[in-house]
Each structure stands twice: as C-alpha cells, then as structure tokens.
Amino acid sequence: MAGIVRVGIIGAGRIGQVHAENLAYRIPEAEVVAIADIDERAAAACAARFGVPAATDNPHAILDNPAIDAVLICSPTETHAMLMEAAAAANKHIFCEKPIALNLAAIDHALAAVEEAGVKLQIGFNRRFDPNFRHVREMVAAGKIGEPHILRITSRDPAPPPVSYIKASGGIFLDMTIHDFDMARYLIGSEVAEVFAAGGVRVDPAIGEAGDIDTALVTLRFENGAIGAIDNCRKAVYGYDQRVEVFGADGSIAVANNTPHNAVHSDAEGVHGAKPLYFFMQRYTESFIEEMRAFIAAIVNDTPTPVTGQDGRVPVVMGLAAWKSYKENRPVPLSEIG
C-alpha cells in the first residue's frame, strides 16, 4: 500500500485512547482520521486530544467512510464480532481487541467473514510485543534452551476490577488467563492439547457471588510433550506480577518484573527495591506501540499480521476448557470444546 494508512477507531475508552495516541505520535506511517464512541463526548475529547479530525457516536460513519483503510475495534467485547463482520463487509483491515467473543459460534462466523473479505486481521494480544517476552520467544525459537520441557507463567493483577465488570467478562479464564494462554502458545510454539484448572475465591467473596473465581492455577499439556503451569490472582498487593520461565533440555530462560526505577535502598531494616510497575497501562506501554506498528506494517507491506484470527480463537477455546475443567474437576482436552 502506498502512502499513509488512514485509520478509524471504534471505541474511545482507555485502550482506544492508547492506540489513538500511539498512532498520532509514534507511528508516522499512519494517521487517525476518525474516532467513534457511543458516548460522543468521549469521542470528541479523544479526537481533540490527539488531533483526530472527526469524532462521531456512530461506528458506521467510520465503516462507511471510503477514505478509511483500517479499523481498530476497541469497543466492549460483546460488539467485537458484529463490528468485525461489518468492517470486513466494508473491506477495511481490522485490528480487534481481545477476545473476539466469548462463544465460538460468534468467533467462527466473524472469522469466516474476514476470510471471505480477504482483509487483514490482527488480534490485540499485545504482550507478544513486550521486549521481555519477545526475547524469551526468540531464545526458545532459536533453540537456545533446547527442546522446551516446562513452562511457568505467573500473572497477577494489582487489584480486581469492579464486580460489574467481572459479571460481563466471561470470568477469570476468559478475561485474565486468556492473555497467558496466548503467551503459552507463543512462547512454546506448540498448541495445547489439554488443560486442568484449579482455583478458588480468595480475594473477595463478591467475586464468588458473581459466579467467578479470583485465584487460579492451570496446568497445560502441550502437543509437543511440554507441560506448563499458569498461576493467576486478581490481587497482588505489591503490583502487577508478570513473569515467565521456559525450561528445556539445554537450559532455561526467565524474565522478572519491570520496575519504575532500579534504585536499591539499604538501611538498618534491610535492602529495598521498587515494586513492579503498577498495572498493564504502565507495564505494557511499549508493547501497545509495537503491536500497532506491526499492524500498520502488515498493511503497508501487504504481509500477514503477527497475531491472526486463529490466534484470537484458540485462547477462547482454552478459556472455555479451563472453565469446564474447573467445574468438573478433571483435565479437559481442547478437542472437547471445538
């Protein structure tokens, strides 16, 4: 594609603003030409802040605009699949936040529409673009640790979201662990065959009353014979805990948390360092830029996107399998889910 990629953003919430800012200031190959939000003032505020010429409360003003090359779907999850289909019908390239949908029928219908339209699709699994995790993947892919045997992922949030959010989220495995499921496939480079999920309500009884759990441990069996464990909690008082380790025949590679500074203070009580960066907006700043750069580059160069529709579908299958495993207290093969 010659020239600047013209982008429309649907959804002016937190993540829509992140993408608007990154496209405006960090990615000269693209420009945001319109932003839509059901709350028109939110759209207008975002447009004003990042120099976007048009704001609207109607996503179709974006989808029907022939000057727009690509659409970012940053609206609530329940609208993702529908908007994806509409964008495909309008022949726009699509960047869609995760998850595509909470049920597979909707996902499959949307992905079929995308495939038929032949537009590009990238799913917002941003953590793949984090320098730490990317380095781990590169080391594994380059064979530096030999055949992978064991994967460990620790993924803990600093504080739970409101219970109202949790009720619509699909629950911990589809809302929170879904990122770790993606990370597991990405790091190991093999599909997961079976999951076993344990967990409970440890942080807040209200989460349990909403039908969810807040603490979990998921065992993964990969098709290539590796095994893995993901541990999650909705509340780590010391901040966002995001670590992985891949152990293999020739060694291991592990990443620690990122911190706002690396100063170490020694006093009569001990030796003290900084807590991890507080949450994903602080921790994954760079990954949001890089995923958007990759999406724009895929359009400019007409190359495949690095996170495909299938990459968006599989973690939902894993999340559904994890819920089934948790409820039935038995390992569940992904083939049971679809």
Size of the site for a copy of itself (CB under 8 A): 69
Position 161 contacts a copy of itself (CB under 8 A): no
Distance in Å, CB of 145 to a copy of itself, minimum: 7
Position 3 contacts a copy of itself (CB under 8 A): no
Judged by beta carbon, residue 26 or residue 293, the one nearer a copy of itself is: 26
CB 278 within 8 A of CB 90: no
Distance in Å, CB of 132 to a copy of itself, minimum: 5
Position 266 contacts a copy of itself (CB under 8 A): yes
CB 178 within 8 A of CB 316: yes
Which of 143, 330, 336, 338 lies at the binding interface for a copy of itself (CB under 8 A)? 330
* Closest C-alpha among 239, 98, 113 to residue 177: 98
Position 271 contacts a copy of itself (CB under 8 A): yes
Q: Where are the alpha helices (DSSP H) in 66-202?
A: 77-89, 104-117, 131-141, 163-167, 172-175, 177-188
Judged by beta carbon, residue 68 or residue 192, the one nearer a copy of itself is: 192
Tokens of 107: 């996902």
Position 233 contacts a copy of itself (CB under 8 A): yes
Asked if residue 99 has a cis previous peptide bond (ω within 30° of 0), the answer is: yes
- Region 234-253 residues binding a copy of itself, contact defined as CB under 8 A: 235-238, 241, 247, 249-253
Which of 255, 294, 300, 337 lies at the binding interface for a copy of itself (CB under 8 A)? 255
Judged by beta carbon, residue 165 or residue 238, the one nearer a copy of itself is: 238
Distance in Å, CB of 330 to a copy of itself, minimum: 6
Provide CB contacts within 8 A for 62, sequence distance 6+.
Answer: 8, 9, 10, 34, 35, 36, 56, 68, 71
Which of 65, 77, 215, 287 lies at the binding interface for a copy of itself (CB under 8 A)? 215
Position 139 contacts a copy of itself (CB under 8 A): yes
Distance CA 169, CA 291 (A): 23
Tokens of 334: 């992904």
Provide CB contacts within 8 A for 239, sequence distance 6+.
Answer: 158, 257, 275, 276, 277, 278, 279
Position 142 contacts a copy of itself (CB under 8 A): no
